[in-house]
Amino acid sequence: MKPQDGGLWLRSVVRHDLWPLRERFEAYSTSVSGLHKQSITPGVRSQDGIYAFKTLDDALGTLDRTCYRGTFLGRVQVWGVIQKHQFGYRAQFAYPHSLTHGICCICKRIVSLKSEPFAIGWSAYHFSDDFSVSGFVCKVCNEKYYLLNTETGYVELSELAERYGITIG
Amino acid sequence: MGKIGEYEKTIVAEPLKEPLPAENQIPGVPEPVKKT
């Protein structure tokens, strides 16, 4: 998430790109210098494309849960040329559909955003003013370690969903 | 390709019409052109 413009952003957990606001997310390749991006169609034998898992279990089985910030999980729409794999897809185009779960950054428990309490915290990187990072915590860890205002987290998540035109749950 | 497993097949899919983000449009996808 990137509050640089005063709003919140979704960031991919696979390649760390920001999801564009109200525009399709398009697969691209980067030049060796890293300066130029070019739209591409994911090839059969390439590693290109926007990655999505088939199921929540597939995602949880492969995602790095050691991320100290916590992570949101949700559904996405994918279209265009799609390379289907055993546990997921590499797509040419994608857009988020909904946010459904969070991974607590302390205990790594999976929290349903629709039916369980949670909190979201913020802290700035020390070396840059450009980005801030979010911490997602379950109710138990929040009460034990942080005492963050849960209402603030709900409001921020609602604002994020509204910016993208997506749903929660 | 370890994270999503072995390749299975290639699909070409149109964007879904429902459910949609706000304004009933998938961002970046142009409206179908009506032939006259």
| pLDDT tens, residue by residue, A37-79 | 889 999 999 999 999 999 988 888 877 665 657 788 999 999 9
Task: Identify the weakest region by mean pLDDT among A62-71, A123-132, B3-12.
Answer: A123-132
Task: Tell me if B22 and A165 make a contact (CB, 8 A cut-off).
Answer: yes
Distance from CA of A109 to the nearest CA of B (A): 21
Domain boundaries, chain A: 3-168
- Cβ-based neighbour number of residue A44 at 10 Å: 10
Terminal CA-to-CA distance of chain A, rounded, Å? Answer: 19
Q: Residues A8-12: what's their mean pLDDT?
A: 84
Q: For residues A38 and A59, what is the distance between their CA atoms, to the nearest angstrom?
A: 27
pLDDT in the model for residue A31: 75
Q: Which residues pair with B9 in a beta bridge?
A: A84
Peptide bond into B19 cis (omega under 30): yes
Task: Tell me if A85 and B23 make a contact (CB, 8 A cut-off).
Answer: no
Distance from CA of B5 to the nearest CA of A (A): 5
Which of A12, A26, A77 should one mutate to test binding to chain B, selecting the residue with the greatest count of B CBs within 10 A?
A: A77
Task: Identify the weakest region by mean pLDDT among A4-18, A79-93, A123-137.
Answer: A123-137
Q: What is the pTM of this model?
A: 0.80
Distance from CA of A150 to the nearest CA of B (A): 26
Instruction: List, as one string, the DSSP characters of A86-110.
Output: SSEEEEEEEEEEEEEEEE-TTT--E
The pLDDT confidence band at residue A93, using thresholds 50, 70 and 90, is very high
Of these ranges, A14-28, A75-89, A141-155, the one predicted with the greatest mean pLDDT is A75-89
pLDDT in the model for residue B3: 81
Task: Tell me if A165 and B4 make a contact (CB, 8 A cut-off).
Answer: no
What are the respective helix, strand and coil percentages of chain A, to the nearest 5?
A: 20, 40, 45
pLDDT in the model for residue A139: 93
